[in-house]
Every structure is written in structure tokens, then in C-alpha cells.
Amino acid sequence: MMILENEKRIFTLQTRNTTYQIKADENGVLLHTYYGPRLRGGDLSRLIRYADRGFSPNPNEVGNNRTYSLDTLPQEYSGSGAGDFRLPSLELELADGSHVADLRYVSYRQQRGKYDLEGLPAFFGGEAAADTLVITLEDAAAQVRVELFYGVFEELDLITRAARIVNQGDQPVRLYRAASLCLDFSGLPLEFITFDGGHVKERKLNRAPLRPGIQSVGSIRGISSHQHNPFVMLCEPGADEDHGTCYGAALLYSGNFEAAAERSQFEDVRLTMGIHPFHFAWTLEPGQAFTTPEAALICSPSGFGQMSRQFHRAIRTHLLRDVWRDRRKPVQVNSWEAFYFDYDQERLLRFAKESAQLGVEMFVLDDGWFGRRNSDSSSLGDWWANEEKLPDGLSGLSREINALGMEFGLWIEPEMVSEDSQLYQTHPDWVLNPAGRPYTRGRSQLVLDYTREEVREYIFQTLQKLLETARISYLKWDMNRALTQVWSAALPAGRQGEVYHRYVLGVYDLLERIRQANPHTLIEGCSGGGGRFDMGMLYYTPQIWCSDNTDAIDRLSIQYGTSFAYPPATMGAHVSAVPNEQTGRSVPLETRGAVALSGTFGYEMDLGALSDQEKAVVVQQIQDYRESYTLIQTGDYYRLSAPSPDGAPTAWLHVSQDRRTALLCLVSGQVHAGPPFRQVKLKGLDPALSYRLTGDDMPWPGDVLMQAGYPLPMLGEYECLRLWLKAE
């Protein structure tokens, strides 16, 4: 809901639990007056205070009023070079070489339904779900207009933001920074939470009080990265899962990004989020516009858990567009950890037949099926079947797989090329690399220049031929290296600062074309696991391989961190063989299944090599997946305890929307002598209902389970517990 007081130039965005207010003051400066727990409204600019601050300059229009300075005001979209020395939202260079951006309010417009962003991912919603506000600012001297877009999803507490910068003059303007989000907080003590790590150790929660100055995370790798996720949080000290005000901010973008929080000299806080300024320089010719990626905000007055559940609902209902969103996804088995590159058609069919007999519903052929691919040093770009391995081609193999009652899926890595490939030999200029400079390789491969339409067209036609000649129900879209030597032969020297962003736009363009041409094909994103796990990719690929680390105990931490913004329905999670290839750890098959069942679920192992007892466990896991799918994929998710090295169990809970059904999941930690008796307090139940738990003769009152807790049995090391709760 929007409350627009035009005569006062006050714009109040109300959601179910929060209030967000903006005001254009008498000087045309767009002020951010409030964002937090829901208020009745009114003019909240009275919260802003003014004082004469030394070395904080005063704009011309206020004359000798030394109490008015852009350096001290909470602004909705900050400029640069005009007296505000904090983080800028907009930094530009004009034709005369000046770098001043001084924005003033011009107008607004509103509409029912959610705005779209051409060529970029964005949350969507019709008139019943969302409203749009657009506020126009202008730097009259620079002849630059900025349109600030706001999408308001009242029931989800979701507010989205984006900006469109337009050159209205007759000379080029160069952008060096164009943030999607600027959010100012006046005088609040806040802590900064980020989700960091590396390959096979993604999205570990890190929390620290904001110190004076700038704290930031980001990526200059060309992808959103394993190292830092484009989702951050600010919270008041002491906030936890169920208490305290917190703010979650996500960037719907899959390339270089920066999320920065600055605590000023006056202890105010500014959060900015957008494309990383590293090697970013975008030229706007007269009349041209640049649109920033979308940012998404959710404020929770009741701790982290409420924020996460609102993000989960928003993603499931207003970001995922795939037809599989509302259908049960098939249980899949992937060939990679079973065979790597060492297979032929006979071996694959044996593997598929043994898997089908256990109830697996989709066979996915991973790396090694194309060109002359027997290692990771050749054939990327040659997307046709290796006839030595697959004499009947993909069409023949897919028919055989379908005859077993299974669907067929395929691994691809279409953004890369091997030097030992027909594609590279034909088009060596199609890679990102400055002329005359030696290559920097990653995984023995180079990066195709997706800024070029002819490159994308070739890949589209090649992949489309595969999809039309074989019955492929699923694509695993991988991307196994960061971008280096980022230079395009298709752009002049003065436009090379556009390559990083144009690359991401090219990836989005190709994915959208593949989606439109093959609407029933499920696409799973992957970048060495979780290197591009972001909301931008989820707009095109409704699930993402969570991590190349399939060790169940490490996955507890990875999936825990991921869950703060992303729902289980989006987390690619499989059961793999032991000892695990990343850690060497052996974990019970039941536990590996319990962890993977809180994701998209499948197997990365040779199921035919299991014992009869283990095969019986697999059959039961697949049955468990079918029974719990709707609850896990559409229910509310509660983190009951965080992964801990001290031996305490990691517990989480899935609860149905009507709160009548729940599933408690728990994995024990390391066992030590003389362990304590433990209980776990549940959440999200109806305190007035009683629930019968799996294996219990007597029902448990909901309030007892939530306030007193459920007593846990003594568990061995890395054992699991999955208990259904059903209201009577």
C-alpha cells in the first residue's frame, strides 16, 4: 500500500509489518525519513535533526544556513562531488571532465502492479500483489535524470528498488557508479552480517558491529562468487532468529557487485548496493539510458527467521517462473561422482537401469559426453555427442533412458571454450582477451565473449539442435571459472569498461531465449557449485547447485547460511558416496539423505554398487522425498539451531502454511564422553493444537513443544532424526 501526500511531497510505503517513508524537502533533496516496524504514518521528517557541522558544506540555495548540509542528511539516492562525502549512489563524468552529481526532486508517478526491467531479472507481480512508485530526480546542470523505481509487495513485506539514469543533454555522460540501492539510518547502532567463504565452503555467516568508516563485501570475478554472496543484513545488537529488528538486502545480479555499509562521523549508517565500480565505465550517449539491477529489501521487526520466510515466499511466488515451480521435480541421479569422464553407453545404461529399479526418476549425464572430451582440457564449445562413447548419440541414449521410465538430463558449460576444440580453432577471437596478451586459464578453459550477439547466437543454435534432437528434460548449466583478461574485440577502447556488465546481460539474454524456446525443460544453475548462487540467476534457473561440496556435515553449514535468503526449493542437494571426495569423511547414508532431502534431492553416486541394505535405505529415502516434497518446497522453514563444532545437534523444521503438519530434521554432531541430555524447542506450530510425533503414543501440545521443547534421544556421531508432526 502507498500513501502519497503530494502537497507535502511525502511518500509512505506500507507493508503488512513495515513502513518505508521518503520526503522531498523544500530544497528538492529527496530524504529518507524512516524504514522499520510499521507505523501509522504522518510526516516522519521531524525525526531528522539539523546542526552546524564543521567541514560539512552547505548548498547554494540555503544561503548562510550552516545547519543544512548534504553531508549530514539521510538521502534516498546520494550524489557525489556536491558536499556529501559518504558513499555515493551515482558517480559520473560530464563532457567538461567534471564529476559532480547533485540530484533534486522533479515528480512522481504510480501504477498498479510491479514494474519490469528490460533485459534484467526482477520480482514480478500483478495488480493484486504489488504496486509501483517511480520518483524522478534531476541534475539540471548536468542534464541527467534519475528515475527511482519502487515495487511494494504488501503481504510479503518486500520492497524492491532499481534506478534508471538518462542522459538528457547533447554530450556523452560516463557513469562510474550507479547503485541500485541507497539506504540511510539515522543514529542507530547496527551490526553487519555477510555470507562469505570460498569454493566448497560457501555462505558462512559472519557478523560484526559496524565500525567507523566503510565495511564492504563484493566480487570482481565477473560472477557473484563463492567468496561473498550478494545478500547482506543489518540488524540491531542482540537480534536473533526470533527477536530484534533486522534488514535483509539482496541484489538480483550475477556479476560484479558491491554491498557497502558506512558508519559516518556522526554514527549514521548508509548501505549501498549495486554493480561494483571496479572496471565499470558506461558511456551514455545523448538520449540513452542505463538501468541498474534490482535490489530487494525486507525488514523484519521479529528477528532473522521472519525475514527469511518472507524472502522464501517472495522467491517461490514472485521470482521463480519455471513450470516446475508448481510440479514435483523428479528424483535424479547424476553420473559425475559415479564415473567422472570414464564411461561408455553400455556402462551408462547399466547405471541408469540399476537406478530406475530403486525409484530414481531422472538420469543426468554430466561432463564428458561431447566432442573428444576425456578430461577437462578439451572440447568445450563442441556441443555434439562423442560417438566413441555414445554410438547412438544423445537421441539414442535418451530413448533408452526413457524406455526405462526415466527422464533424461544433460550437463553443459556453454559460456566456456577449450583451446583444443573446433569452436576455438574456427573463432579464436570469440574469447575475452586483449589482443597480443597471453591467456590466463581457469580449469584449462577460456571465457567466450557473451557481449557479442554472434557468439550467443551460435551457442543458442547449437544447444537448440541438441534439445530438438534428443528428449532432454533437464539442463545443468555450469560455469567453472572467474573472468580474467576482460576485454572484447567487439568494443572500442573507450567502451571496455562496459564488458563485465554486458557479459552478464548476454548470459541473461541467452538463458531467456533457451527458456522461451524450451518452456518445459528444467534448468539448474551451477558455477563450480555455489559461485553464482544469487536471485538474478534464480529468475532464469529455478534451482542452483548449492555447492560442489557434497559432504553432509559441511552441507549443514552451507545450507544453513544459504537459507537466510534462499528457500530449500532452490538448493541443489544430493546424496554422494563415502568417503566423501572433498573431506574424506564417512557419514551414514541415512544422514546424507536427511540433509539432501531439505533441498532439491538426488544422488551423485553409483547406486548399483550399494549393498542390499543400502539400496533399501535409498528406496525409503525416495519415498520420503515424495511424501515430504510439498511441505519442504512450499512450507515455512525454521532454523532451530546453527551448526556447531561443540557436538550440539543441528536442527531445522518445515511447517505447513496451516500449521497442522511439520517435519523436524536433526543431525547430531561429534560425540563426546558424558554427553548432556538435550531437547529442541520447536517453532511455528499452533500452540492451541496437539501434535502426534512419529513413534510417540501420546500427542504433544503445541505450546509445550515450543516453550519446553522436545526431548531428544541419545544419538551417535552424525546420526539423523526425521520426525513428522501431525495435528490431531
- Residues involved in catalysis: 478, 548
Strands 2-5 and 700-701: unpaired
Buried-state track 426-436, b at ≥16 Cβ within 10 A, e below 16: ebeebbbbeee
Spell 185-194 as b/e; 16+ CB within 10 A means b: bbeeebbbbb
Which set of grid coordinates corresponds to residue 611? 549393498
Residues 6+ apart with CB under 8 A from 118: 291
> For the CA atoms of the chain, what is the radius of gyration?
27
Tell how far CA 149 is from the center of its chain: 21
**Cβ neighbours of residue 468 under 8 Å, at least 6 residues apart?**
none
Say if CB 457 and CB 388 are below 8 A apart: no
State how far Cα 240 lies from the chain centre.
22
Residues 6+ apart with CB under 8 A from 128: none
Parallel, antiparallel, or unpaired for β 201-209 and 282-284? Answer: unpaired
C-alpha cell at 71: 553531508
For residues 488 and 144, what is the distance between their CA atoms, to the nearest angstrom?
28
Strands 269-275 and 257-263: antiparallel
Nearest to 566 by CA among 258, 324, 310, 292: 310
User: How far apart, in whole angstroms, are the C-alpha atoms of residue 549 and residue 563?
Assistant: 16
Its sign, for the CA torsion 351, 323, 565, 162, is positive
> 725 - beta bridge partners?
662, 693
Contact criterion met (CB below 8 Å) for 16 and 157: yes
Hey, which residues does 78 pair with through a beta bridge?
Answer: none
Q: In which order are the strands placed within the sheet that holds 407-412?
A: 571-572, 543-545, 522-525, 474-477, 407-412, 362-365, 332-334, 602-604, 575-576
